[in-house]
Chains A and B, each alone.
Chain A
Amino acid sequence: MLGERFRSLFRAAGELPANGGIVLAAGAARREAAARRFDAAEADRQSSGLRQFFEVLRGQPRMRILDLGGATQANINFITLQGHKLYTEDLLLSLDRLIEQARESRARQALPARVLAEHLNFPAGEFDGILVWDTLEFLEEDMLGPSVARLQAALKPGGTLLSFFHTHAKGETVPVYRYQIRDHQTLHLQPRALRPLPRAFNNRNLERMFANFRSVKFFLARDNLREVIVTR
């Protein structure tokens, strides 16, 4: 019942399939658990990763920042008010649209190449900082490595990338948020949908994923979210 209440909420937001497919597949117990997590994550949360991200940029005007979580008023205001230039791309939304098109045209194999060509085709060394949020953990295996490589190339040497990863098991349904920046270390989490995790990440996986970066730093928060700051 509680799960249904939250499915209705997401449907109202227009971002969950009407049949609630991914939620139903996860099972009732998991659904209830996801709903509880959704409830708990509604409030603002402190982010050590975000603080670190902006510490690197502090005092440097006209930095170029890429936000892969889509355009939000809060992030635009916060970043541009500091004199930085913002580039936004809603990677998950774009990916969902491509998957939908690929399903119709049965061109699933071409998907990774299309993601890179159409949504991660940034010039080398373009950005001082990239806010990835939690988008990487929802990418399929064949897209993940090339996407990380493309983001690394898009960063300037010394540039910083912030990414979030849930600590839950593979297949568990987790809430997807829109991350809105309140201040240098506070995020407001606005729910968008529920999604199953295609895989689980531990510190070792993450170190391997970001092996080509100069440094990798982890922050494990109390809300089962691992924040990762990497520097090119």
Chain B
Amino acid sequence: MTSTPMVKPGEPERVRERPGAAAIGKSVVIKGEISSSEDLFVDGEIRGAIELRDHSLTVGPNGKVDANVTAREIVVQGTLNGNVHASDKIEIRKTGSLLGDLTTARIIIEDGAYFKGSIDILKPGQKTEPARVAVSGSGKPTVQPSLHMAAESRQS
């Protein structure tokens, strides 16, 4: 992980991480919990949980995140599987795929983006529980979209 922005000249704007954000590169795989008090750009793979509270998470075009996420703002250009709580905004770009239950104040979905799950919009001043963080021994998040969890328990 590095705090140095890795911006290449000529690279499309939307692929870049935020200036000053911590970056997890393409070849990096992390299993476990990540807690940060700065913005985070993930272009590698994370399995576990991400807790950024007042900061933003960007899942880059090559990023693959299997984690429950709590952040102020979340931008998905790659793949994110997990329940997501964003106090401000969730943005799923056209290359992005998000599978999970969302709680957020605002959501932006570009045409072509894939999303499966529920959307709960927070009203101003409304507070809810952040995405529950539960990590199994394998480092994979155990929380799935709530409806499917319920369906599985019904079937068993």
Using CB atoms and an 8 Å cutoff, list the residues of chain A in contact with chain B: 14, 70-73, 76, 80-81, 85-90, 93-94, 117, 121-124, 126
* Alpha-carbon separation in the docked complex, A178 to B87 (Å): 29
Q: Shortest beta-carbon distance, A37 to chain B, in Å?
A: 22
**B118 lies within 8 A of A86 (CB):** yes
Nearest A residue to B101 via CB reads A87
* Alpha-carbon separation in the docked complex, A121 to B109 (Å): 24
**A124 lies within 8 A of B154 (CB):** yes
**A73 lies within 8 A of B108 (CB):** yes
**A122 lies within 8 A of B151 (CB):** yes
What are 21 A-B pairs at a CB distance below 8 A?
A: A70-B114, A71-B109, A71-B113, A71-B115, A71-B119, A76-B107, A80-B107, A80-B119, A80-B121, A86-B118, A87-B117, A88-B117, A88-B119, A89-B116, A90-B114, A90-B116, A94-B116, A121-B147, A121-B148, A123-B150, A126-B147
* Alpha-carbon separation in the docked complex, A123 to B148 (Å): 8
**B116 lies within 8 A of A76 (CB):** no
**Which among B112, B115, B118 is the interface contact of A85 at CB below 8 angstroms?**
B118
Nearest B residue to A80 via CB reads B121
Q: Shortest beta-carbon distance, B131 to chain A, in Å?
A: 16
Q: Does B4 contact A (CB under 8 A)?
A: no
* Alpha-carbon separation in the docked complex, A34 to B92 (Å): 32
Q: Chain A residues near B151 (CB, 8 Å)?
A: 121-123
Q: Chain B residues near A72 (CB, 8 Å)?
A: 109, 111
Nearest 4 A-B pairs (CB), nearest first? A121-B151, A71-B115, A123-B150, A80-B121
For window 100-153 of B, CB contacts with A under 8 Å fall at: 107-109, 111-121, 147-148, 150-152
**B121 lies within 8 A of A87 (CB):** no
Nearest B residue to A118 via CB reads B148
* Alpha-carbon separation in the docked complex, A117 to B155 (Å): 9
* Alpha-carbon separation in the docked complex, A124 to B154 (Å): 9
**A88 lies within 8 A of B147 (CB):** no
Q: Chain A residues near B154 (CB, 8 Å)?
A: 123-124
**B116 lies within 8 A of A121 (CB):** no
Nearest B residue to A120 via CB reads B151
* Alpha-carbon separation in the docked complex, A73 to B154 (Å): 32
* Alpha-carbon separation in the docked complex, A93 to B116 (Å): 11
Q: Shortest beta-carbon distance, B144 to chain A, in Å?
A: 11
* Alpha-carbon separation in the docked complex, A119 to B118 (Å): 13
Nearest A residue to B98 via CB reads A71
Q: Chain A residues near B92 (CB, 8 Å)?
A: 71
Q: Chain B residues near A86 (CB, 8 Å)?
A: 118-119
* Alpha-carbon separation in the docked complex, A89 to B119 (Å): 11
Q: Chain A residues near B115 (CB, 8 Å)?
A: 70-71, 88
* Alpha-carbon separation in the docked complex, A121 to B119 (Å): 17
Q: Shortest beta-carbon distance, A122 to chain B, in Å?
A: 5
* Alpha-carbon separation in the docked complex, A121 to B118 (Å): 14
Q: Shortest beta-carbon distance, B13 to chain A, in Å?
A: 21
* Alpha-carbon separation in the docked complex, A214 to B107 (Å): 36
Q: Chain A residues near B152 (CB, 8 Å)?
A: 121
